[in-house]
């Protein structure tokens, strides 16, 4: 009799740019079209792996903020509610695209679910007094950005920044594990999760956006995944990024990653949290973490693309 081998679990963290590419306005049509590239590969990989999908919301949550700030007719919503909204909107887009791609592959019986997810943060996190997470549109010149908000220069241009506390624990980790064990593809921790503070047994939302790479690493650790893959808009991790002598790395030991991080090779708000997330996962689990492009998710899982962080 054939022995049934349990599938390994793969967590794919999709960057906000899986939906909105550089220079695009970000219409719904563009977002659906862009999404089909990573999702087609994930649909194929679901034949071999149990799948968890997490996603960013930087562009989308910033756009929602701008939309509501342009309207005084109805009450304004805090960031925690806007994060919840993006979990709904992006969760829907990922789920429906995945459903179509699975059907195209002739796979009709894979159960999918997108989950509203809370992530606990520490109310004493020093990040509450230092806005650092870029959201919304990218402005070429500082003077083009709306006034009245903290703005920072990023590798892409000028962007509004919001506070971004560290994830402490994923509230729904047990539920997610159960769903994975039952072969559901789970979409969760969208936009880093809805940031909440715990008071006794109750949770209260806070005005912040958690980094989705750090939240995904926490989830990967708490659920116990085998491969943690971060998909973004560059082929992997580079030294001297953006300079004439830029050099992409295929693999990096934890010690090297730590040293490059100290040297300032990976800025906060972009590559920094991805490296920290990968390092955290690898040092806790001893398993594989890979940073790759949206286009090369499948080859990266197979060890043929991207940058791998190892012990």
Interface ranges with ligand ADP (CB under 6 A): 15-17, 56, 58, 155-156, 232-234, 237-238, 241, 265-267, 270-271
Nearest to 227 by CA among 236, 237, 216: 216
Annotation says 57 is catalytic = no
Annotation says 106 is catalytic = no
Annotation says 16 is catalytic = yes
Nearer to ligand ADP, 9 or 270 (CB): 270
Q: How far is CA 85 from the centre of its chain?
A: 16
Annotation says 17 is catalytic = yes
Distances (CA, A) of 40 to 20, 103, 115, 174, 270: 17, 11, 21, 28, 25
State the nearest-atom distance from the C-beta of 230 to ligand ADP, in Å. Answer: 7
Distances (CA, A) of 74 to 77, 85, 199, 206, 257: 9, 16, 30, 21, 47
Residue nearest to ligand ADP (CB): 15
Nearer to ligand ADP, 185 or 214 (CB): 214
Which candidate in 50, 62, 91, 133 is catalytic? 133
State the nearest-atom distance from the C-beta of 225 to ligand ADP, in Å. Answer: 19
Which candidate in 177, 218, 274, 287 is catalytic? 274
Phi-psi sector, 188: left (phi>0), alpha (psi -120 to 50), beta:
beta
State the nearest-atom distance from the C-beta of 275 to ligand ADP, in Å. Answer: 8
Nearest to 160 by CA among 131, 124, 118: 131
Nearer to ligand ADP, 114 or 270 (CB): 270
DSSP string, 27-96: -HHHHHHHHHHHHHHHHHHTTTSEEEEEE--HHHHHHHHHHHHT--SS----HHHHHHHHHHHHHHHHHH
Annotation says 242 is catalytic = no
Which candidate in 50, 173, 212, 287 is catalytic? 212
Q: Length of the chain in residues, anyone?
A: 311
Nearer to ligand ADP, 184 or 266 (CB): 266
Nearer to ligand ADP, 25 or 124 (CB): 25
State the nearest-atom distance from the C-beta of 71 to ligand ADP, in Å. Answer: 27
DSSP 110: -
Catalogue the active-site residues: 16-17, 133, 212, 274
């Amino acid at each position: 009799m054939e022995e049934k081998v349990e599938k390994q679990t793969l967590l794919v963290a999709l960057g906000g740019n899986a939906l909105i590419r550089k220079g695009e306005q970000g219409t719904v049509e563009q977002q659906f079209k862009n999404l089909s590239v990573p999702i087609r590969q994930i649909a194929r990989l679901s034949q071999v792996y149990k799948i968890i999908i997490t996603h960013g919301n930087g562009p989308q949550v910033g756009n929602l903020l701008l939309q509501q700030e342009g309207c005084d007719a109805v009450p304004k919503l805090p960031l925690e509610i806007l994060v919840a909204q993006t979990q709904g909107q992006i969760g829907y887009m990922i789920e429906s695209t995945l459903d179509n791609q699975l059907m195209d592959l002739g796979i009709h019986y894979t159960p999918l679910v997108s989950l509203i997810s809370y992530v606990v943060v520490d109310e004493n996190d020093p990040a509450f007094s230092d806005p650092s997470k870029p959201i919304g549109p990218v402005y070429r010149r500082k003077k083009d950005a709306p006034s009245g908000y903290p703005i920072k220069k990023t590798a892409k241009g000028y962007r509004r920044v919001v506070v971004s506390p560290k994830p402490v624990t994923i509230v729904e980790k047990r539920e997610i594990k159960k769903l994975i064990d039952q072969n559901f593809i789970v979409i969760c921790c969208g936009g880093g999760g809805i940031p909440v503070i715990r008071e006794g047994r109750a949770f209260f939302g806070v005005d912040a956006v958690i980094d989705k790479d750090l939240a995904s690493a926490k989830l990967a650790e708490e659920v116990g995944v085998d491969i943690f893959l971060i998909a973004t808009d560059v082929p992997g991790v580079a030294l001297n990024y953006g300079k004439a002598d830029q050099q992409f790395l295929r693999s990096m030991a934890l010690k090297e990653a730590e040293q490059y991080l100290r040297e300032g090779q990976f800025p906060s708000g972009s590559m920094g949290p991805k490296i920290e997330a990968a390092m955290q996962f690898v040092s806790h689990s001893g398993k594989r973490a890979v940073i790759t492009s949206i286009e090369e998710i499948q080859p990266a899982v197979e060890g043929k693309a991207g940058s791998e962080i190892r012990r």
